[in-house]
Copies of this chain bind each other. A is one copy, B any other.
Amino acid sequence: MEETKFIINGNEYLPLRDVVFNTLRDAILTGKLIPGERLMENQLADKLGVSRTPVREALRMLALENLVELVPRKGAQVLDMSEKDIINILEVRDALESLATSIACKKMSKEMLQQLKLVEAEFEQAIEVNDLERIIQLDEDFHDLILESTENDKLSHIYQNLRIQLYRYRMAHLKVDSSIPAIIAHHRGILRAIENHDAEEGATVAHGHIKYHTEFILRSIHNK
């Protein structure tokens, strides 16, 4: 052994465009960059300590995630969503969540169902101790598991994208205590449907879940 290179991990390299992309996306989703705000390439490049090239590419990625609006020769700005947009997204999400749940009812493995039950238990536990961060995370995990069980990458990808777009309105949902019991009921209903391999029932419950979610988000927007 003459010389060994210190390769910690096979793949810890990330192109700058992805770093910039992640940074900007995070800033948008957490509200550090507000809707309508202009995003200038030079300015961002300076602030992030990179050149314009990766910034440009990151902006284009964000545009295709529907987080940024790009007008040729004018520039980019953080996309502002109208109520109509939100309704539209939820309409699609409804159909996809129903689809995912009904597929899950058909082909989720026993092991995965076990895991799902575990997540649900932790979810309800997190509610007991009022750990908001954890509640949100586990709710996401719950839906992720269902998506994963569909073994449909396209479906997962589209769904995730819709979720990202609604991310900014996510807090408003679970923050309100009164919505919690309904959500638990929905989750349990979905679990039951999966356990019984009842695809129709699963789709119905999922539909109700999103409908409930929709009304909540809309209400929270109106109260702003």
Contact = CB atoms under 8 A, between A and B. Distances in A.
A147 to B, nearest CB: 12
A213 interface: no
Copies of this chain, how many?
2
A9 B72 CA distance: 16
A221 interface: no
Contacts of A61: 60, 64
A88 B158 contact: no
Contacts of A15: 72-73
A96 interface: yes
A37 interface: no
A182 interface: no
A94 B88 CA distance: 18
A112 to B, nearest CB: 18
A152 B60 contact: no
B88 A155 contact: yes
Given A57-B57, A72-B15, A95-B98, A154 B64 contact: no
A133 interface: no
A153 to B, nearest CB: 6
Interface string A129-158: 000000000000000000000001111001
